[in-house]
Structure 1
Amino acid sequence: MKTTLLVVFALAANAALWGNAVASGPNSSGAFDFGALELKVLSPDGKQTIGYTRFMVLHDSSTEEVKGETRYLDGEHDNESELLYVGNPDSIPRLDSYEHSFFNADGTPHMVDTLNAKSGVASCASYTAGKLRVRTSQLEVPADSFAGASELMMVVASLRHGIREVKFHAFACVPGPAIFSVETSLPDRPEHWPLYPGDLVRLDMRPDLGVLNLLVAPFMPTMDAWFNPNDNWSYVGGEFDRYFRGPHVLTLRVPPAD
């Protein structure tokens, strides 16, 4: 299945750039310190803060582990974890595993999405009225497949490297496990976003599923992501569905403390 996006949602050109892009910690000199990223989660109209998201990146000589936590003021929370294999300086990073768990306000599980890129085994689990339903698939996982926060990290790395036309693959539960082919291109003019000042670039994700557009596209997860080209393409926020047919929320970057 092929998804065409109207703006860049891309992967890094080389591992040297990636190594800088995801470096983390107080002594990091990386170009994109994902560990320093904190986001406010806003209501769909952007008027109320309903939660916060924080990321941490753990690095060693051959892997990057991305951990994200989102906590909502009503007690709900999400946990996300991705392991990526970095390899040698001439190789493109590869997704090793992905897991995203969603919890109700009382702490009980609501959904769990998983992908083992090595084995190709993927699952999408949901809990309704205490009953578990699991959709499992054996997928063919291309080397350029990513999921969750790693997709956002690759976008920033790509923008900073000047990439304008890129192809990659993305994993999602829609509601069963699926991997989509993505083609992207960069718009030629910036836009304004009421929630953040300046001339920004917007990633408007609208799937093109060919003959299935009328039936499937309205139910596909969507995401608009905003980047500041005048601040080294930093991610400043966006809006998206928390999960397939889930609530629509906005995020807004929290400026780092002085």
Structure 2
Amino acid sequence: MDMSQITCGVVRDLLPLYVDGCCGADSRRLVEEHLAGCPDCRRARADMAGELPPAEGAPVPEAEPARAMKTGLKKLRRRWALSLLAVLLIPLLGWLTWNQVHGTGPCFTNFHERMLADGFVRTLAAGDYEGAFHRLELDELYQDFSGDSRLDRADLSDFESRAQAFFLDSARALEEAGGITSWRYLSIQRTGSGYTVQYAVTTGGQDYSLSVDASDSGVRHFSGGSGYIPEPDPLRALSLWSESLWQDYAGCYLDPETGRYVWEEE
């Protein structure tokens, strides 16, 4: 069969199948015979295949049947990748949803608070105590102080600078003990309007627990250490910085023997 028996229109209709290697042997032979003598159709084939057109009279390359197989394999790999991603994501989403409903563990709404708490502990561990202080949300503490009838609100005009001084002074013992040498996240749980994040920290060769209360606005409170033995350990001393600040404003101190406040005028 010569090329006069097949028109350019028919060849153009067959070219997509030909380029993808999906047409039968007879159709491929007809297309190749036509392409050998038709420069316009050769250019159309080259454009479709993204190639430079062969010179006139040059042999027409046969379509690669493997091209269709490669395309199919790409689609198959893509489907396998999506399936694997779904297999991994579905349990994760289910776990996060369960935590969201029960108010414990990582979930959709506590990621921000977890990052705030992590940032605070990380800054402490880096020895940047001033930076750690600036991660604290002081508004709630100020409201507590200003609402205390035993304190004179006029004295609170220097609240932030005084608070920073007490925080840094309380951090001195922790710094002298070598600071926080290691820390790791343990858990997170909803508490009131925020979340409490638990950590295990090491300082002075001793392991302690550290709780950080965080909300949308920042770190509201933290506590850690093991208490008074007979004096507070360095981490506990830092946790008590706001208590020391309150005692200074109130003009009192805590008697370790009686566990009661002693006022300066007494």
TM-score range (shorter-chain normalised) is under 0.3
Instruction: Say which structure, 1 or 2, has more relative contact order (CA 8 Å, 6+ apart).
Output: 1
TM-score between the two structures when normalised by the length of structure 2: 0.23
